[in-house]
């Protein structure tokens, strides 16, 4: 149209957008190790021990393979670390809960409660790793070594109550198998509370048959906590 002044529109300068680069914070070494162990157990729990490979561990953890190998030489070493951590952590958990019990019956009552609580809190089933007869010899050796320590632990407690060493050693083995077996078999079942009550009765009767006059205050041997990872 005549008389109209055409004003050129100024378009704002459009700059090329800069993509934000996410800077991934390197995971601290101790934190990465715990993460790898947690994922390793999840793999075993879901798909069996044969599914645990270093490649699977690297893929599911988001860590590069060399990073995984910085922590563990192979999958067998991962399994051994899981076993080691399980026994050491459970021992600490039970003994911390059990400090200051006046008699052996109270000691085992609290120990049984603590063992059930530990497994339920950690959702960890040692039978997924080994029962001492797996294909991994190193795991079997470690499993039996910790069993031996546990038997010795119970034997010392019984000897404090006046039980003969020979009988105490045999009784310690029975106690270990009875307690760990019952806990791992029933801890995630609906009737776990009933299983716990029955186990307490069985242990009480067993102790009473061994030595009716168990009046000595139990003093847990400290060696059970000296378990290096």
Condensed to tens digits (0 to 9), the pLDDT of residues 195-217 reads: 999 999 999 999 999 988 888 89
pLDDT exceeds cutoff 80 at 182: yes
Q: Where are the domains of the chain?
A: 28-73, 83-225
Q: Where are the alpha helices (DSSP H) in 3-103?
A: 29-47, 54-61, 65-71, 75-97
Percent of the chain with pLDDT over 70: 85
List C-alpha distances in Å: 82 to 29, 150, 165: 17, 17, 32
Long-range contacts: 166-169, Cβ < 8 Å, 24+? 167/210
pLDDT exceeds cutoff 50 at 39: yes
pLDDT exceeds cutoff 60 at 219: yes
pLDDT of residue 138: 82
Question: Which pLDDT tens digit goes with each residue over 142-166?
Answer: 889 999 999 999 999 999 999 999 9
Give the contacts of 6 (CB within 8 A, at least 6 positions apart): none
Which of 176, 197, 206 is closest to 104 using CA atoms? 206
Question: Which pLDDT tens digit goes with each residue over 66-84?
Answer: 999 999 999 999 999 999 9
Name the architecture of domain 83-225. Orthogonal Bundle (1.10)
pLDDT of residue 184: 93
pLDDT of residue 135: 66
Q: Other C-beta atoms within 10 Å of 44: how many?
A: 20
Out of 1.10.10, 1.10.3470, 3.40.50, 3.30.200, select the CATH number for domain 28-73: 1.10.10
Give the contacts of 199 (CB within 8 A, at least 6 positions apart): 112, 178, 179, 182, 183
pTM, full prediction: 0.80
pLDDT of residue 226: 56
């Amino acid at each position: 149209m005549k008389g109209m002044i055409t004003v050129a529109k100024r378009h704002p300068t459009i700059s090329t957008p800069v993509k934000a680069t996410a800077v991934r914070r390197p995971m601290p070494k101790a934190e990465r190790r715990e993460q790898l162990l947690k994922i390793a157990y999840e793999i075993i729990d879901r798909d069996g021990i044969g599914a645990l490979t270093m490649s699977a561990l690297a893929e599911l953890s988001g860590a590069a393979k060399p990073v995984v190998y910085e922590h563990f030489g192979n999958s067998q070493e991962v399994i051994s670390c899981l076993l080691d951590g399980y026994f050491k952590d459970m021992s600490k958990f039970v003994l911390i809960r059990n400090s200051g019990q006046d008699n052996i019956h109270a000691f085992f009552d609290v120990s049984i409660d603590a063992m059930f609580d530990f497994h339920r809190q950690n959702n960890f089933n040692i039978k997924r790793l080994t029962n001492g007869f797996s294909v991994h010899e190193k795991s079997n050796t470690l499993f039996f070594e910790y069993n031996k320590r546990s038997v010795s632990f119970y034997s010392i407690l019984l000897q404090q109550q006046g039980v003969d060493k020979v009988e105490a050693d045999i009784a310690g083995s029975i106690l270990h198998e009875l307690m760990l077996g019952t806990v791992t078999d029933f801890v995630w079942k609906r009737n776990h509370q009933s299983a716990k009550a029955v186990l307490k009765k069985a242990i009480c009767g067993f102790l009473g048959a061994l030595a009716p006059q168990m009046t000595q205050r139990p003093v847990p041997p400290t060696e059970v906590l000296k378990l290096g990872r």
